[in-house]
Chain A
Amino acid sequence: MIVVNCPHCGPRNSSDLRPCGEVTSRPDPATASLSEWRTYLYMRENPSGWVTEAWYCRSGCRRYFTIERNTATNETRRSEAS
């Protein structure tokens, strides 16, 4: 059970939150080509190392925010409200 630092609530057990995966940038749905859109939907960097990811503070403040987490060690740093 890792600890995730919510920028509003402080450190929380990860079971109180929902991981939303690595942060990707959503193209404009009105203009995106299908292949751009699917790249956004499906393709992931999936690095072993530092990654910026989104979390939802489900049992706490109900805010979405981002943190950086090292997927090789599960260390975390810098959390930011979105």
Chain B
Amino acid sequence: MTHNRLPVRPGEVIDRETSLAFTWNGRPHTGLRGDTIASALAADGVEVFARSMKYKRRRGIMTADHWDPNLSVQVGDEPNVRAGSRRLVAGMEVSAQNVWPSLKFDIGAANQLVGRFLSPGFYYKTFMRPKWLWHHLYQTILRRFAPGGRIHWETSTHGAYDKRYAHPDVLVAGGGPAGMGAAIAAAEAGASVMLVEHEPELGGHLRWGDAEDLTALADLLAAVQSHPGIEVLVDSTVTGRYDHNWIAVMQRSHEVAPERLIKARAGSLVVAPGLIERPYVFAGNDTPGVMLSGAVRRLINLWAVKPGSRAVVLSANPEGDAAIADLEAAGVEIVAALDARVGEDIVEVEGRGRVRRAVLGDGRTVAADLVVLGTGWTAPTSLLNMAGDRPVYDPTAARYFPNQLPDNVLATGGITGNGSTVELVAHGSATGTLAANRALRNRHERRSSTARARSPEGPMPESLQDTRVPLARTPHPECYRSSSHGMVDFSEDVSSKDLFQASGEGFDSIELMKRYTTATMGPSQGKLETVNAAAVLAEARSMDMVDIGTTVWRPPFAPISLGALAGRIFEPIRRSALQDWHEAHGASPLLAGQWVRPDHYGDPVGEARNVRENVGIIDVTPLGKLDLRGPDVAKLLELVYVNRWQKLEIGRVRYGTMVAEDGVVSDDGVTGRLGEDHYLMTTTSSGAGAVWEMLEDYLQTYRPEWNVHVTAVTGGLTSINVAGPRCRDLLLRLVEDVDLSPEAFPYFHVRRGRVAGVSGCIIWRIGFTGELSYELHVPSGHALHVWESLIANGEDLGIRPFGVESQRILRLEKGHYIVGQDTDGLTKAPSAGLGGLVKLDKHDTLGLPELRASYARTDLPVLVAIQTDDPEIVPMEADQIVDGDSNRILGRITSSRMSPTLGRSVCLGQVDPSLAAAGSKVTILLVNGHRVSGTVQEHHAHVDPEGVRQNA
């Protein structure tokens, strides 16, 4: 049982009244509320938590916090949980990762015996012969050694993750004394503040400090909590600083989601992350029982856990010294207190599952079960690097310091220097005031330049000078490596010896060394190992640390789950006013871009046949629709379409093709003239947005003197195509004030009128199906009424709704091409068969130079209609057209269907110009490998090339 739990400690965060049961490798354990997984297990006497990646060495607690490389565990279906920081929850099923068959006995530990052969990059130098073995055997074995936990993709689901935005004036990363000081001062100065602390409580290092620290903490806490301008987020991490202070905050244990991403645009970012303690390199430095000073202080003071019984302490700083005091208070015997400042050292630790002996610098060997290292700090400059800073190494203080920061990023606290709590708070305060000042100036500027904002009261606040007295850089010995070799990267199992070897092989810049040895590439991302790696390289190359540099810190500062990054997935879906009806009537849904629409209602072929025989209706609302008004619309149309528009009369509709500036066919549709200065343009469904933006571009930047207003009306007008020989009979029953006779309302004309009692409908005679047809554009709030009226009134005429699939069949029978299907990213106007439509003498078409060039060419592919000689064979779309028996490609089928009207297959295809003439024979390679012959047709239309039906 909890034999390592100490009597009550003044700053402990555990609730001794509430015990929590959980399991570790299947065995029951209990901990207390407030425990981390690691502290609970340590209290229960667990010493080994994991096996290392490569050599499968036993590993125990080293830093007892989030960054502890030895404490990644599996919790239920969640892999790689940081036992050093994850709070215990009742019922957790915790197990060790990366072990087989068990933590105690791991077969892979045999790797330790052959370790000397597994030098860095060994895999690059072997497994090369015989060649085939690599693929089949070596690789399979290597993949078995992948470290980490297990992801249960079969059963896990994307849970309830969440996100939100925030706009604080000042965002403070780090809730230690400096960060709290900054938050209070910034709020006092009138800024809105978000204070983010990675750990579950504010306070930073004060939390495990002495009585004086705890008092100071209580005061700071009271001040923070009483200030309404400060939003405090604990158990939350600032994981990234992106351009223009776009800040990612990961909020854990929020009630609505296990993790929640906050995206904050901060006026100022105050970086107050304190320091991360760094390990010391010597033989056996990864043995369970070797801990950093912060780990023992946290264990003792936060969770009342006794970390060992006989300790050797190597201290280079006051925190190391404080650890000695804490250990003594916890009843741990100090067998050797070594002072690194006077050159005392530790050379080696012996023991496998636990430290047994330590060999000291003076040659003594002492028995101990705990070795505590207070040997120095790594400045977590991650967020500063993301802001463009390149921190500089200071040999006197033996760590890196910020160098040049943009105005909106400020650093304070331990990352910038040393000081007493009072000095840290003072520096934090001054930083907070400065940060607030800059943020408030920024707010002032934003308020004056943003149309919707309340104009700022009063003048812009004066810019404060940065008059902060820098914190001292207390001298600190450069403690990196003892006289022996040891681990540098604990999660990657990379030793200082490996780094020496890499340097000798030519990987002698820190970046190459990293990539060859993988040092700093594991889950802790350099937080513990970067500085030691640089120091070892400096030693290997006999260079100064200053000239070695470091590897690059990149986001995230702490790993983020994919679920949290994804959050709620927003996928807008567009529905026409009729979609509910379609669904209620058996439509099979088709997702086309953002639209959901009926693919068919169960019988696409029958639906298509019904259009040829009776009358069908289809919802074509997704067609892009732009309302164009103004005296210069015709000029605009001339500019964007390849054909002529100046003479389009009121009441007429015309088809047009758009060609981009590079001559490629980009969109098509019809445009009708509704009034003197009023037109309605339709575009393809997928091109609607792009065409709108293009029109605005030309109107705003190319011809700003033209007067045209463009309004997107796609969803406002529900578009219904009524098609088939009996469609006029149907509309005669419903259309009130328009003469529908062929003479009064011929093909390619437009009228406005009332349909089924709904006024304001636009009716034009066009259609994709090749039948007599009318397209109705109905105000959407009344569209369902019109649709239902059509269905009801058409019953005796054989009306049936049809979907996209039937329309595809019908349009192919009629030989209408689809931009993007029958054309591709390089199709020029002549290839699409636009022939006579294009007017090369127009002066204001932006594709003109390319259009001319393309018409001068004779080698461009041509879009033609093709019929297979065997009418039963329906090629697949994208089947290739080849040169006889050879593999030379001469074109491809772009559209293909069985035609219910003709009872044979019909195709469109792009072919080499040599095959474009009517009657040309083509060879089509089917997907089953057979080659079949086909014939190029005279017209694109397989059905009714003369247009008798549509003109009826």
A contacts B: CB pair < 8 Å: yes
A: which residues have CB within 8 A of B?
Answer: 1-3, 5, 8-11, 13, 18, 20, 26, 29-30, 32-34, 37, 41, 54, 56, 58, 62-64, 73-74, 82
Closest to A82 in B: B701
Asked if B253 is at the interface (CB within 8 A of a chain A CB), the reply is no
Interface string of B81-99 (1 = CB under 8 A from A): 0000000000000000000
Residues of chain B within 8 A (CB-CB) of A73 are 388
Residues of chain A within 8 A (CB-CB) of B844 are 29-30
Q: Report the Cα distance A9→B846, complex, angstroms.
A: 30
Q: Report the Cα distance A37→B299, complex, angstroms.
A: 72
User: What 16 additional pairs, Cβ within 8 angstroms, besides A1-B263, A9-B451, A58-B693?
Assistant: A1-B243, A1-B244, A1-B246, A2-B243, A5-B449, A29-B844, A29-B846, A29-B847, A30-B843, A33-B849, A34-B849, A34-B850, A37-B849, A56-B696, A64-B697, A74-B243
A10 and B843: CB pair below 8 A? no
B243 and A34: CB pair below 8 A? no
A63-B446 CB under 8 A given contacts A30-B843, A34-B853: no
Asked if B487 is at the interface (CB within 8 A of a chain A CB), the reply is no
The 7 closest A-B pairs by CB, nearest first: A10-B450, A37-B849, A29-B848, A10-B449, A3-B244, A30-B843, A1-B246
A29-B845 CB under 8 A given contacts A10-B449, A41-B662, A63-B700: yes
Asked if B609 is at the interface (CB within 8 A of a chain A CB), the reply is no
Q: Report the Cα distance A29→B244, complex, angstroms.
A: 39
Residues of chain A within 8 A (CB-CB) of B848 are 29-30
B484 to chain A, nearest CB (A): 45
B244, B451, B704, B849 — most chain A CB neighbours (10 Å): B849
Residues of chain A within 8 A (CB-CB) of B243 are 1-2, 74
Q: Report the Cα distance A29→B850, complex, angstroms.
A: 9
Contact of A10 among B446, B697, B847 (CB under 8 A): B446
A11-B446 CB under 8 A given contacts A1-B244, A2-B243, A62-B696: yes
Q: Report the Cα distance A63→B845, complex, angstroms.
A: 22
Q: Report the Cα distance A18→B704, complex, angstroms.
A: 20
Q: Report the Cα distance A62→B689, complex, angstroms.
A: 12
B265 and A3: CB pair below 8 A? yes
A56 and B693: CB pair below 8 A? yes
Residues of chain A within 8 A (CB-CB) of B449 are 5, 10-11
A18 and B693: CB pair below 8 A? yes
Asked if B453 is at the interface (CB within 8 A of a chain A CB), the reply is yes
Q: Report the Cα distance A53→B97, complex, angstroms.
A: 52
19 contacts across the A-B interface (CB closer than 8 A) = A1-B243, A1-B244, A1-B246, A2-B244, A2-B246, A8-B451, A9-B450, A11-B446, A13-B246, A29-B847, A32-B849, A33-B849, A34-B849, A34-B852, A41-B661, A56-B696, A64-B700, A73-B388, A82-B700
Interface size on B, residues (CB 8 A): 31
Q: Report the Cα distance A37→B850, complex, angstroms.
A: 8
Q: Report the Cα distance A73→B388, complex, angstroms.
A: 9
A62 to chain B, nearest CB (A): 6
Residues of chain A within 8 A (CB-CB) of B242 are 1
B591 to chain A, nearest CB (A): 23
Residues of chain A within 8 A (CB-CB) of B700 are 63-64, 82
Q: Report the Cα distance A82→B449, complex, angstroms.
A: 17
B: which residues have CB within 8 A of A?
Answer: 242-244, 246, 263, 265, 388, 446, 449-451, 453, 661-662, 693, 696-697, 700-702, 704, 843-850, 852-853
Q: Report the Cα distance A37→B843, complex, angstroms.
A: 15
B937 to chain A, nearest CB (A): 34
B849 and A29: CB pair below 8 A? yes
A56 and B849: CB pair below 8 A? no
Residues of chain A within 8 A (CB-CB) of B244 are 1-3, 74
Q: Report the Cα distance A73→B243, complex, angstroms.
A: 9
Q: Report the Cα distance A58→B696, complex, angstroms.
A: 11
B613 to chain A, nearest CB (A): 46
Residues of chain B within 8 A (CB-CB) of A56 are 693, 696-697
B692 to chain A, nearest CB (A): 9
Residues of chain A within 8 A (CB-CB) of B662 are 41
Q: Report the Cα distance A37→B845, complex, angstroms.
A: 13
Residues of chain A within 8 A (CB-CB) of B849 are 29, 32-34, 37
Residues of chain B within 8 A (CB-CB) of A1 are 242-244, 246, 263
Closest to B244 in A: A3
Residues of chain B within 8 A (CB-CB) of A62 are 696
Closest to A76 in B: B244
Q: Report the Cα distance A9→B246, complex, angstroms.
A: 19
Residues of chain A within 8 A (CB-CB) of B846 are 26, 29
A2, A11, A32 — most chain B CB neighbours (10 Å): A11
Q: Report the Cα distance A32→B661, complex, angstroms.
A: 12
Residues of chain B within 8 A (CB-CB) of A33 are 849
Residues of chain B within 8 A (CB-CB) of A54 are 701
Q: Report the Cα distance A56→B697, complex, angstroms.
A: 8
Residues of chain B within 8 A (CB-CB) of A74 are 243-244
B845 to chain A, nearest CB (A): 7
Q: Report the Cα distance A26→B845, complex, angstroms.
A: 13
Residues of chain B within 8 A (CB-CB) of A8 are 451
Q: Report the Cα distance A41→B660, complex, angstroms.
A: 11
Residues of chain A within 8 A (CB-CB) of B697 are 20, 56, 64
Residues of chain B within 8 A (CB-CB) of A58 are 693
B188 to chain A, nearest CB (A): 26
Closest to A18 in B: B693
A64 and B451: CB pair below 8 A? no
B450 and A11: CB pair below 8 A? yes
Residues of chain A within 8 A (CB-CB) of B446 are 10-11
Q: Report the Cα distance A54→B693, complex, angstroms.
A: 13
Q: Report the Cα distance A37→B848, complex, angstroms.
A: 10
Closest to A42 in B: B662
Q: Report the Cα distance A3→B265, complex, angstroms.
A: 9
Closest to A7 in B: B449
Residues of chain A within 8 A (CB-CB) of B850 are 34, 37
Q: Report the Cα distance A56→B847, complex, angstroms.
A: 21
Residues of chain A within 8 A (CB-CB) of B853 are 34
A10 and B453: CB pair below 8 A? yes
Residues of chain B within 8 A (CB-CB) of A41 are 661-662
Residues of chain B within 8 A (CB-CB) of A5 are 449
B177 to chain A, nearest CB (A): 32
B339 to chain A, nearest CB (A): 46
Q: Report the Cα distance A30→B847, complex, angstroms.
A: 10
Residues of chain B within 8 A (CB-CB) of A30 are 843-844, 848
Q: Report the Cα distance A73→B406, complex, angstroms.
A: 11
B637 to chain A, nearest CB (A): 16
Closest to A74 in B: B243
Q: Report the Cα distance A5→B446, complex, angstroms.
A: 10
Closest to B851 in A: A29
A57 to chain B, nearest CB (A): 10
Residues of chain B within 8 A (CB-CB) of A32 are 849
Residues of chain B within 8 A (CB-CB) of A64 are 696-697, 700-701
B45 to chain A, nearest CB (A): 49
B243 to chain A, nearest CB (A): 5
Closest to A28 in B: B843
B696 to chain A, nearest CB (A): 6
Residues of chain B within 8 A (CB-CB) of A82 are 700-701, 704
Residues of chain B within 8 A (CB-CB) of A9 are 450-451
A18 to chain B, nearest CB (A): 7
Closest to B697 in A: A64
B226 to chain A, nearest CB (A): 33
B932 to chain A, nearest CB (A): 41
B342 to chain A, nearest CB (A): 47
Closest to A35 in B: B849
B702 and A26: CB pair below 8 A? yes
Q: Report the Cα distance A5→B448, complex, angstroms.
A: 12
Closest to A64 in B: B700
Residues of chain A within 8 A (CB-CB) of B704 are 82
Closest to B448 in A: A10
B644 to chain A, nearest CB (A): 16
Residues of chain B within 8 A (CB-CB) of A63 are 700
Closest to A60 in B: B451
Q: Report the Cα distance A63→B696, complex, angstroms.
A: 8
Q: Report the Cα distance A3→B850, complex, angstroms.
A: 36
